[in-house]
Structure 1
Amino acid sequence: MHFQEWFRSSAGVKGPESENLWSLLPSLPLSSFSLSSLSLSSSSLLGLGALASLTAYWLVTRPRPTRPPCDLQAQSVAVDGDPSCRRSALLKDDSLMEYYYEDTRTVFDMFRRGLRIAGDGPCLGFRKPGQPYQWISYNEVLEQAQVLGSGLMAKGCRPNPQQLIGIFAQNRPEWIISELACYTYSMAVVPLYDTLGPEAMVHILDLAEISLVLCDREEKAAALLENKERGGTPKLSCLVLFNDFSDAFVQRAKNCDVEVLKLDQLMDLGRQNLKDPVPPQPQDLAVVCFTSGTTGKPKGAMITHGNIASNTSSVIKILEGSFVIQQDDVSISYLPLAHMFERMIQVTMFCHGARVGFYQGDISLLMDDIKTLKPTFFPVVPRLLNRIYDKILGSATSPLRRALLRFAVRRKQAELSSGVVRNNSLWDKLVFNRIQASLGGNLRFALTASAPISPTVLSFLRATLGCLIFEGYGQTECTAGCTFSMPGDWTGGHVGAPLPCAKVKLVDIPEMNYYAKNGDGEICISGPSVFRGYLKDPEKTAEALDSDGWLHSGDVGQWLPNGTLRIIDRKKHIFKLSQGEYIAPEKIENVYLRCVPVLQVFVHGDSLQSYLVGIVVPDPEVLVDWAKARGFVGSYEELCQNPDLKNAVLEDMKAVGKKAGLKSFEQVKDLHLHPKAFSVANGLLTPTLKSRRADIRRTFQIQISSMYSQAAF
């Protein structure tokens, strides 16, 4: 028997923890001495004493794994014996969670709970360049919200959920105060954002019959005014600005019957006409969140207070044993408040009396804001995590540093595999401390969503950042998330198990050869977090919600043996890039077909990448002459292999795309010229001459991988 074996058995230590400790101890076989005949010198006794002290210290301070809230090999449970329909293993039965705390069934309730916890404690933080954060207390936020809400009613807004108020601003305290002002009097919010475009903005304001919009800057208000001047948005009658504005703008607004007020003026009006709160009910509308409309006009998803309460409560339930949000926790707010992901995070923070600090509005200053704020909670999207990953790898400039980084990451990943997440190991102190300090040094929790993330990147960052990093999956129509990583499960390649507020089932897609009996199909969601429908659009609502109330996501999923969900495809060929932008490839392809040298085109995007690439079949009857006019000579096949000609075709496609109004992220950044046409015979077209997208993707996988691996963009 060896000494290390005796040590492990007598100390009750097993697994990777014993290996980590044993690396610090000498390897001595017990057969080298016997206790009956052992003669120990004083130095030996001192050595054994030191060893005993080291052992005792390690037993007290050794890292302990996160205790999972359920069996990680059975994270979801079949509903009514149907393995294709599953719910969270954290539930006692098939009854889904609507709220966590008895008194938090609306967003207004959740903020009031935080108020009771924090009172005069900090709530919303902001800063000026080079300055520390300044804080507005919970009491001040609620007081300002009541005053602002009273001001809205003094301007004719009604205290009921049919009253929709527009907010067109960057993340800042006034955004949240405006939202809470609406909820204090049962009104609903319609967030607006720059990338919608003028036509979509007109559509939203008209559809929602919005008469009053709160804006941050004159430039944004001017864009709304321009629509009014052109004869759109006839209901718009009042603009309230957070920042100062010019007299010329006031006169311009007056000329088209729009009143312009500064926020302070509206709040003064509210103080003069202060009203008692009219709190909302769980079934009341809270927000109409408009999608970006890649396949048509934006659709307004109607989200209720009950939807939000059930979704946030489910996340609280999952985290209750591993990450309890405390009053001194702080989140950095930089992701758009026009989307539900950021809003759900903030509601969860407010419910616990925690703080939210806003970035300065300039993404180039975000890292400085993070270092100053020192957040404990970091909401993030895969694109930013990918940048952090690349930056860390790029910082290891010498072979020695790269070797040390790789070794340290492997050691931390070994701890992760046993459930240990920490930032105080030897490797954290020697290698990762500067990385962690660049994000403020206090991170306890990060949450990534909006698009998939590479398991390699996720595992690497869990090791280097030394904090809990969870991944969620969902969409606006189910409020935010429907699945979520389980604490203690630090594996990658899946998006977790169903949240306690949702049942998730897979439905057959015969045309794509996906069948629920095989464990894959279209992801459908049911439960109290599923939206009410699209505003004034019964046709689109019926497409999204079936007669039994199941939300059809359009994503294709696969159940894994441990009860978690993996995203494997898209039913309608709409996908996200890594930065969260939706792409409709067929729309882009139809634009590029207008290019003279293009006969066929296939646009591909990878949710782990930030840009698009394409496969182009040039028109053999056109290409040679088109190329010759630009100084290129050769046969059709030779021209298809000419990299300079490829670039010329790419530039022509980009020009056509720009003229057609494609956004920059909708333009392909590289392409491969293929001399043979897609056809029914070669299996790349259907009998109705539609692209077999999955087959084209498989056929050109090498070329696609090559375009992305060049990483020249």
Structure 2
Amino acid sequence: MTETQSSTTSISDRPPSVAHLLLERVAETPDLEAFRYPVATEGGPDAWHSYTWAQAAQRVYAIAAGLMDLGIRPEERVAIASTTRVDWILTDLGIMCAGAATTTVYPQTNAEETVFILADSGSRVLIAEDATQLAKVREARGNLPGLDHVVVIDPSGVEPAADDPEGWVLSLAELAERGAAYLEAKPDCVTDTTAALRGDQLATLIYTSGTTGRPKGVRLSQDTWSYMALAIEAVNVVHEDDIQYLWLPLAHVFGKVLLAGHIKVGHVMAVDGRVDKIIENLPVVKPTYMCGVPRIFERVYNGVAAKARAGGAARLRIFNWSADIARAHARASQESFRRTGKASVPAGLAAKHAVADRLVYKKLRAAFGGNMRACVSGSAALTPDIGFFFAGAGIPILEGYGLTESAAASFINPSSALRTGTVGKAFPGNEVRIAEDGEILLRGPGIMQGYHGLPEQTEKVLEPDGWFHTGDIGELSDDGYLRITDRKKDLFKTSGGKYVAPTEIEGRFKVVCPYASTMVVIGAGRKYCAALIALDEAAILGWAKEEGLTGSYAEIVAHERTRRLIDGYVDTLNAGLQRWQTIKKFELLPRELDVEHGDLTPSLKLKRPVVEREFEPLIERMFVEQ
């Protein structure tokens, strides 16, 4: 192994739990704005309402006391199956303040897997968003003998069922009413329960969506989250005067960790998990800070490129020129900072950048609300060319890295010393090693306790001395910047003995081809590499309209002119690859890859085995001997 590197700063004297931090936050800034959330209006745009910290705490404490009234005790599990909304956050904090442990369930999860997670976790209460989530467990109640109650956030459309036990279903409002009464009788129940919490008690069970097999429950302790809260404050990426826009799924660890940082730092959090509302909401909320996944930034880039293309040849030339200038400016600036500690670019490039800013970048920043100071990207690798473009356009994307097993955040790019193409430097208190085979190993206070009920699986990845095997391959610079090169299990060897890192090739293609949604490189044990390519529906249909082609997405994809179009982009991709990496053949998929079909995880990671099984006939066709 390489020599161990540790962060230069440490986190000490952290409180046992985020519940402690919440009480401190409310006492310190009770009247400051904590959350913004949308409320539907009749016939008009959503109205944004707010909670102060004191108002949020009142709601949180009532939920916590309501759970205690239902008999929930420390470390017992309470599940949440809901989209991202302010009620999710208040409920999660209520669970924490009751000393219980949150089990997260993606709202897209089907009934079978939802029941598996609830049973495997031993959850006693389910906080269900609506009638749809309730229906998943109502039919399988016989397989969930330990599920004592279902609390519905939005009870509209929820009808009583004849075989429901009395009190089995109640609304979140009813739970809060029970909690208010419980608080009257026991006014110190929340503060006493919080004071008694230990750092090693279970706080959260997050089930990895996984790219293969059944999900595993990752056990994260109370002080894991309080550590993350203090670490986020220490790296100084988000500030107390920020307005953070939160749309990420809170069932995913990336979304969940942001809540801990929010409580410690004390900024405003605008919450709306509707992905189709992001473009509409940004100019209204005017956030200064937002976290996302690469797919979102790729779609924004491709959308801007498609709009430029629709504006005619001259407009497209201006965009392409501006994009090249943005990348060149960002590269020069970052390289200058690395060498001298001061960001500077040649005068000629600076002059071109100023022109491009007026023509393109200013409009892009306005689409993000006009105040965006920085974005953070995580969950999967961000293609460097996309990162350089946004950095040069004035919206730096600070790529970070972590896993569910490390509470999401293990590395982050410093906002003052961004190095695009890396995931930055280790969080305070973290240690990192690169094993002989290139695998990244982590150790620190953010690492999980283990997989719930799976000691053998835990032993495979977590060594007795605390080192966690991430399964990712990477390189570490002398000054501590980490670069992820691929997922260990995704690397493959061709029959000619050459190793191929598919993620790198796939990322390059998304930059080369503005119509690409997903590329899946195939070639393990084969003579050459081939690829399945899914196109972005909006982009390719826009191109088809310009070309006078009509038909559905599948019909356009099957058209010979579309194939010739994509063939040209594959040739461009191949020109920059080693001979054994080049894509010799490709097939266009009849639909986009998505979560609903099981091709992607809810955090938008590619499920390679699923895709390869579903499209096996297309894959075999690409490897038929000619």
**TM band (smaller chain):** 0.7 to 0.9
Distance (whole Å) between structure 1 residues aligned to residue 95 and residue 524 of structure 2: 51
Tell me the secondary structure at the aligned position of residue 307 of structure 1.
Answer: helix
Native 8 Å contact 1:152 1:266 kept in 2:
yes
Instruction: Say whether residues 1:493 and 2:421 are aligned partners.
Output: yes
Distance (whole Å) between structure 1 residues aligned to residue 211 and residue 243 of structure 2: 34
Native 8 Å contact 1:471 1:484 kept in 2:
yes
Instruction: Say whether residues 1:385 and 2:297 are aligned partners.
Output: yes
Q: Which amino acid aligns with 1:674?
A: F
Instruction: Say whether residues 1:341 and 2:254 are aligned partners.
Output: yes
Cα gap change, 1:647 to 1:387, in 2 (>3 Å): closer
Instruction: Say whether residues 1:471 and 2:399 are aligned partners.
Output: yes
Cα gap change, 1:308 to 1:124, in 2 (>3 Å): same
1:199, distance to aligned residue in structure 2 (A)? 2.8
CA displacement 1:637-665 (0-9 Å, x = unmatched): xxxxxxxxx999988xx9xx99xx86476
Native 8 Å contact 1:253 1:260 kept in 2:
no
Cα gap change, 1:603 to 1:454, in 2 (>3 Å): closer
2:520 to 612, 626, 629: 612
User: Could you say which residue in structure 1 is the equivalent of 2:381?
Assistant: 452
CA displacement 1:93-131 (0-9 Å, x = unmatched): xxxx345xx565521133234324431222121113503
1:376, distance to aligned residue in structure 2 (A)? 0.9
Identity of paired residues, percent? 24
Q: Which amino acid aligns with 1:125?
A: R
User: Could you say which residue in structure 2 is the equivalent of 1:25?
Assistant: none
Native 8 Å contact 1:556 1:569 kept in 2:
yes
Native 8 Å contact 1:459 1:490 kept in 2:
no
Native 8 Å contact 1:417 1:490 kept in 2:
no
Tell me the secondary structure at the aligned position of residue 39 of structure 2.
Answer: coil
> Under a length normalisation based on structure 1, what TM-score does the superposition of the two structures give?
0.65
Native 8 Å contact 2:327 2:388 kept in 1:
no
User: Could you say which residue in structure 2 is the equivalent of 1:371?
Assistant: 283
Native 8 Å contact 1:236 1:258 kept in 2:
no
Structure 2 unaligned blocks of 5 or more = 338-342, 494-499, 511-517, 527-584, 601-606
1:191, distance to aligned residue in structure 2 (A)? 0.9
Q: 1:696-707 to 2 correspondence within 5 Å?
A: none
CA RMSD, aligned part only?
Answer: 3.4
CA displacement 1:491-518 (0-9 Å, x = unmatched): 322222222221111223xxxxx3xxxx
Native 8 Å contact 1:447 1:469 kept in 2:
yes
Native 8 Å contact 2:79 2:105 kept in 1:
yes
User: Could you say which residue in structure 1 is the equivalent of 2:611?
Assistant: 667
Native 8 Å contact 2:80 2:88 kept in 1:
yes
1:561, distance to aligned residue in structure 2 (A)? 4.0
Q: 1:117-266 to 2 correspondence within 5 Å?
A: 117-129=28-40, 130-158=45-73, 160-161=74-75, 163-228=76-141, 231-246=142-157, 249-252=159-162, 254=164, 259-266=168-175
Native 8 Å contact 1:558 1:567 kept in 2:
yes
Number of aligned residues: 507
User: Could you say which residue in structure 1 is the equivalent of 2:181?
Assistant: 272
Native 8 Å contact 2:319 2:360 kept in 1:
no
CA displacement 1:119-168 (0-9 Å, x = unmatched): 1222121113503311011101111111111111111112x12x110111
Distance (whole Å) between structure 1 residues aligned to residue 362 and residue 37 of structure 2: 27
Tell me the secondary structure at the aligned position of residue 667 of structure 1.
Answer: helix
Q: Which amino acid aligns with 1:154?
A: D
1:567, distance to aligned residue in structure 2 (A)? 1.8
Q: 1:90-101 to 2 correspondence within 5 Å?
A: 90-91=8-9, 97-99=10-12
Distance (whole Å) between structure 2 residues aligned to residue 120 and residue 487 of structure 1: 29
Tell me the secondary structure at the aligned position of residue 250 of structure 1.
Answer: coil
User: Could you say which residue in structure 2 is the equivalent of 1:325?
Assistant: 239
Q: Which amino acid aligns with 1:375?
A: P
Q: Which amino acid aligns with 1:479?
A: A
Cα gap change, 1:257 to 1:613, in 2 (>3 Å): farther
Tell me the secondary structure at the aligned position of residue 463 of structure 2.
Answer: coil
CA displacement 1:157-193 (0-9 Å, x = unmatched): 12x12x1101111111111111111111211111111
Q: Which amino acid aligns with 1:556?
A: I
Tell me the secondary structure at the aligned position of residue 249 of structure 2.
Answer: coil
1:408, distance to aligned residue in structure 2 (A)? 5.0
Structure 1 unaligned blocks of 5 or more = 1-81, 92-96, 509-513, 515-520, 576-584, 586-601, 619-645, 678-713
Native 8 Å contact 1:332 1:378 kept in 2:
yes
CA displacement 1:252-281 (0-9 Å, x = unmatched): 451x67711111111111111114211133
2:4 to 77, 81, 85: 85
Distance (whole Å) between structure 1 residues aligned to residue 329 and residue 486 of structure 2: 32
Distance (whole Å) between structure 2 residues aligned to residue 270 and residue 667 of structure 1: 47
Q: Return the index of the structure with the highest Cα Rg.
A: 1
User: Could you say which residue in structure 2 is the equivalent of 1:482?
Assistant: 410
Cα gap change, 1:647 to 1:611, in 2 (>3 Å): closer
Q: 1:618-657 to 2 correspondence within 5 Å?
A: none
Instruction: Say whether residues 1:550 and 2:483 are aligned partners.
Output: no
Q: Which amino acid aligns with 2:304?
A: I
Tell me the secondary structure at the aligned position of residue 429 of structure 2.
Answer: coil
